[in-house]
Structure 1
Amino acid sequence: MTGLSPTKRDLRAAALARRDALTTQQRFAAADAVAARAFPLEVASGQAVAGYSPIRSEFDPRPLMEALARRGARLALPVIVARDQPLLFRIWSPSTAMVRGQMGIFEPAADAPVVVPDIMLVPLAAFDRTGHRIGYGAGHYDRTFEQLRRMKTIVAVGLAFSVQQVAAVPALPHDVRLDYIVTEHQTIDTRGH
């Protein structure tokens, strides 16, 4: 770590190392625990909930997404349109045909309908208790929130393992704060910070 305060790069690397050290069994148990617990907000029938296709050792949102679908939510997954561009969201279900996108991440095929989500489940590398997150550095989610929140209210829910928590994320003015962070152990409501 450099200087007195760790940089985003330092925090990201340390949090990802802790996340990578979790066993497959711990990852599955965490995803199941979150899906079985009460979601932090009411999801109305027909509301669009966007998740993500987990990569590497990311928290798997699919059990939670399927639980929300049983309550009437419409599900969506992000599509990376281009570098430095907001994400696009396409309707998804467990039976949706998937293709590998530009970054090699699975996403719905181009014929899946586009939707603007009401709730976004957000992957992350690290988080703090005030709702700041560290992603992977591409800025896709910050740009997406900036664009979509001009259209309507969108609730941002970070999904993470508790080992990804850091004391404080050095946030910049353009960094979007999460409304909630959900880990295998707790739900943190950050809206009052």
Structure 2
Amino acid sequence: MPISSDSQPKDELRAAALARRDALSAEERASAAVALAARMPPLDITSSTVVAGYAPIRSEIDPMPLMRSLAGKGAALAMPVIVARDTALVFRAWVPGAALVRGALGTFEPPANAVEVVPDIVLVPLAAFDRAGHRIGYGAGYYDRTLEALRRHKTVTAIGLAFTVQEVAQVPALSHDVRLDYVLTEAGVCRLGSK
């Protein structure tokens, strides 16, 4: 059941959702990560499909079991790279087990010599989400800028990955906030209809 968010500002919703996420046990986290792999939305995955995931930070849900499952279905994988503050992310090819390096802002990413690719599907980490497809990130706007830039050139499916405890009744969305197409949690998939 989503947490009520009647007129709460984003920073309060973010803090509360992250506290709930942080409170999950190691066993709950591991079980949820495995459950994601079995609950992917019914999308066409072919050998030409590029899926961008991420290396989890803080207490984010781990997308690696899902990414390995998608690679097993033929998808090519990629990871985001922060090239500068206040810019869109770029994506570099990555295969399960390949080394990641610490980026400029502390995230883990493929090395500079990895091939840059354009994803068809972006797995998006988040702090909180609602059933309208709005998300709260960490406040830097990287995924909003990135999805907006990608969608100017092609159809890109954005799938938020979260624990169910991160759902709120309503995210106070702004005009520049980019909606998700789906949110995938350990409980299932929510089709959000942002396309």
Q: TM-score range by the shorter chain?
A: over 0.9
Alignment of 1:34-45 (within 5 A): 34-45=36-47
* Structure 2 CA distance for aligned equivalents of residues 96 and 66 of structure 1: 12
- Consecutive unaligned residues of structure 2, counting only runs of 5 or more, are 1-5
Counterpart Cα distance in 2 of 1:189 and 1:97: 33
Letter in 2 for 1:124: L
Q: Is 2:46–2:74's contact at 8 Å kept on the other side of the alignment?
A: yes
Q: Which has the higher contact order (CA 8 A, sep 6+)?
A: 2
The match for 2:132 among 127, 130, 133 is 130
Q: Quick one: which amino acid aligns to residue 178 of structure 2?
A: V
TM-score, normalising length: structure 1: 0.95
Q: Kindly indicate whether the alpha-carbon contact (under 8 Å) linking 2:121 and 2:158 is maintained by their aligned counterparts in 1.
A: yes
Q: Does structure 2 conserve the Cα–Cα contact (< 8 Å) formed by 1:50 and 1:75?
A: yes
SS in 2 for 1:181: strand
The amino acid that maps onto 1:86 is A
Aligned partner of 2:32 in structure 1 is 30
The answer on 1:168 being equivalent to 2:153 is no
CA distance in 2, matches of 1:88, 1:134: 20
Alignment pair present for 1:50 and 2:79: no
Q: In the alignment, which residue of structure 2 is the partner of 1:146?
A: 148
Shift in Å, 1:93: 1.0
Q: Does 1:72 align with 2:74?
A: yes
SS of the residue corresponding to residue 91 of structure 1 reads strand
On the 8 A contact 2:120/2:155 being kept in 1, the answer is yes
Q: Size of the alignment, in residue pairs?
A: 190
Distance 1:43 1:130 in 2: 25
Write the distance in 1 (CA, Å) between the matches of 2:40 and 2:135.
23
Offset at residue 107 of structure 1 (A)? 0.5
Structure 1 residue aligned with 2:61: 59
Q: Secondary structure at the match of 2:116?
A: coil
Q: What do the CA deviations read for 1:72-130 (whole angstroms, capped 9, x no partner)? A: 00000000000000001000112322110011111000000000000000000000011
For residues 67 and 179 of structure 1, what CA distance do their matches in structure 2 show?
Answer: 20
Q: Is the 8 A contact 1:40 1:187 kept in 2?
A: no
Contact 2:18 2:166 survives alignment (8 Å): yes
Residues 19 and 75 of structure 1, relative CA distance in 2, 3 Å threshold: same
Stretches (4+) displaced over 6 A: none
Structure 1 gaps of 5+ residues are: none
What secondary structure sits across from 1:13 in the alignment?
A: helix
Partner of 2:104: 102
TM-score relative to the length of structure 2: 0.94
**Is the partner of 1:60 in helix, strand or coil?**
coil
| Structure 2 SS opposite 1:157 | strand
Percent of counterpart pairs with the same letter?
64
**1:89–1:116 contact (8 Å) kept in structure 2:** yes
